[in-house]
């Protein structure tokens, strides 16, 4: 589904990464690791079509990713960024927001299904009536993930999905994404969490060079 071929990105005359190749197929979890500043988040944004490559190319479903094709490809993706910001006050508005987007207007929001997803992620149903400012960062992270699960997009991209979580909650998140993959979703993930990375099918380590390791 996702093919990155000899990709390089430069910003302000600084090389973030060069010669990077990776693939993510249907039903796979691929985790990108590496030190801070090596370009992991930039890679995800490049796959989303928000950052242009200096060299190389990215293909989605065998078609070249371009500024014009990226708009259509993003309709088949769900994205969980590391920094979560919502232009709404309540959790009930937060979870309904993606279903109001043009790309998702054919999808129906179901509170009952959402509560099922929350149960799998260890979330209390009472959070539904809270304000966004009243819940923790880890709760926001898992709630946002549950919405990605509801959307059932064929490609899932996540930046540090366990960064605000304790060990137990992180394990629930890893299992949840594994279930998404078992339904055919291709998951491209960035994480500093060693246990999470080891739960993935493959791990790509970025740096001055990169290393692709099947797990």
Query: What is the distance between the alpha carbons of residues 144 and 150, in angstroms, rounded to a whole number?
Result: 10
Note the pLDDT of residue 205. 93
- The residue ranges of every structural domain in the chain are 2-214
Note the pLDDT of residue 215. 46
Q: Identify whether the C-beta of residue 132 lies closer than 8 Å to the C-beta of residue 88.
A: yes
Cβ density class 160-174: b for 16+ within 10 Å, e for less: bbbbbbeeebbbbbb
Q: Identify whether the C-beta of residue 46 lies closer than 8 Å to the C-beta of residue 62.
A: no
CB atoms within 10 A of CB 68: 8
Q: Which fold has domain 2-214?
A: Rossmann fold (3.40.50)
From first to last of the 215 residues of the chain, give the pLDDT tens digit: 999 999 999 988 888 899 999 999 999 999 999 988 889 999 999 999 999 999 999 999 999 999 999 999 999 999 999 988 888 899 999 999 999 888 888 889 999 999 999 999 999 999 999 999 999 999 999 999 999 999 999 999 999 999 989 999 999 999 999 999 999 999 999 999 999 999 999 999 997 445 556 54
Beta carbons within 8 Å of 91's beta carbon, 6+ residues apart: 127, 128, 129, 130, 131, 132, 135, 143
Note the pLDDT of residue 211. 52
Query: What is the distance between the alpha carbons of residues 80 and 138, in angstroms, rounded to a whole number?
Result: 13
Note the pLDDT of residue 212. 59
Beta carbons within 8 Å of 17's beta carbon, 6+ residues apart: 7, 8, 9, 38, 39, 42, 43, 206, 210
Q: Identify whether the C-beta of residue 16 lies closer than 8 Å to the C-beta of residue 42.
A: yes
């Amino acid at each position: 589904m996702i093919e990155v071929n000899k990709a390089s990105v430069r910003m302000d005359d600084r090389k973030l990464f060069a010669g990077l190749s990776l693939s993510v197929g249907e039903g796979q979890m691929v985790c990108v690791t590496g030190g801070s500043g090596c370009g992991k988040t930039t890679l995800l944004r490049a796959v989303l079509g928000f950052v242009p490559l200096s060299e190389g190319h990215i293909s989605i479903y065998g078609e070249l990713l371009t500024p014009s094709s990226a708009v259509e490809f993003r309709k088949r993706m769900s994205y969980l960024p590391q920094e979560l910001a919502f232009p709404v006050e309540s959790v009930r508005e937060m979870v309904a927001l993606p279903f109001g987007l043009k790309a998702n207007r054919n999808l129906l929001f179901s509170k009952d299904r959402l509560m099922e997803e929350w149960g799998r992620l260890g979330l209390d149903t009472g959070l539904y009536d809270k304000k966004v400012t009243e819940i923790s960062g880890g709760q926001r992270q898992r709630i946002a993930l549950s919405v990605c699960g509801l959307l059932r997009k064929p490609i899932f991209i996540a930046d540090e999905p366990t960064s605000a979580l304790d060990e137990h909650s992180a394990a629930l998140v890893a299992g949840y994404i594994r279930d998404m993959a078992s339904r055919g979703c291709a998951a491209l993930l960035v994480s500093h969490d060693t246990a999470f990375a080891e739960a993935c099918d493959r791990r790509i380590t970025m740096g001055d060079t990169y290393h692709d390791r099947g797990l």
